[in-house]
C-alpha cells in the first residue's frame, strides 16, 4: 500500500546533496598522517578541540591541496588570523 517505494523512499525524485559537509572520502589515504595527528591530539587533550585547532587546519589544508574538498579561504571555515586564535585560546585557559 506504500506509494513511496522500498523503505519509504520516493523513486521519482533525485536526492540533492547539501552544499557543504559532503566531500570525497580519502580512499587513497593522502591525508592519513594529518588525520592521525589530529585524532591523537584529541585523545591526549581530553577531546578539547580548541587545543588541536592547528592540526584541524593542517588536515583541511591537506584535503584542499589533494582536491578532496573545494578550496576555500580558511577564514570561511572558522580559522581567523593566528594571533587572534592564540588570544582566544589564552583567554579560555585563564577561565
DSSP string for 39-70: HHHHHHTTS-GGGGHHHHHHHHHHHHHTTSS-
Q: Is residue 37 part of a domain?
A: yes
Q: Is residue 47 part of a domain?
A: yes
Q: Is residue 59 part of a domain?
A: yes
Question: In the structure grid, which three cell numbers stand for residue 28, read together?
Answer: 587513497
Q: Which residue range is the domain that position 60 belongs to?
A: 28-67
Question: In the structure grid, which three cell numbers stand for residue 44, read together?
Answer: 591526549
Q: Is residue 83 part of a domain?
A: no
Total domain count, the chain? 1
pLDDT at 75: 92
Q: Render pLDDT for 7-45 as a digit per residue (tens, 0 to 9).
A: 665 566 676 655 666 567 888 999 999 999 999 999 999
Amino acid at each position: 500500500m506504500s506509494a513511496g517505494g522500498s523503505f519509504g523512499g520516493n523513486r521519482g525524485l533525485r536526492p540533492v546533496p547539501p552544499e557543504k559537509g559532503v566531500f570525497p572520502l580519502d580512499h587513497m589515504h593522502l591525508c592519513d598522517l594529518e588525520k592521525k595527528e589530529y585524532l591523537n591530539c584529541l585523545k591526549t587533550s581530553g577531546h578539547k578541540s580548541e587545543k588541536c585547532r592547528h592540526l584541524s587546519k593542517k588536515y583541511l589544508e591537506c584535503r584542499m591541496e589533494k582536491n578532496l574538498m573545494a578550496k576555500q579561504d580558511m577564514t570561511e571555515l572558522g580559522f581567523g588570523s593566528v594571533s587572534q586564535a592564540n588570544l582566544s585560546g589564552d583567554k579560555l585557559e585563564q577561565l
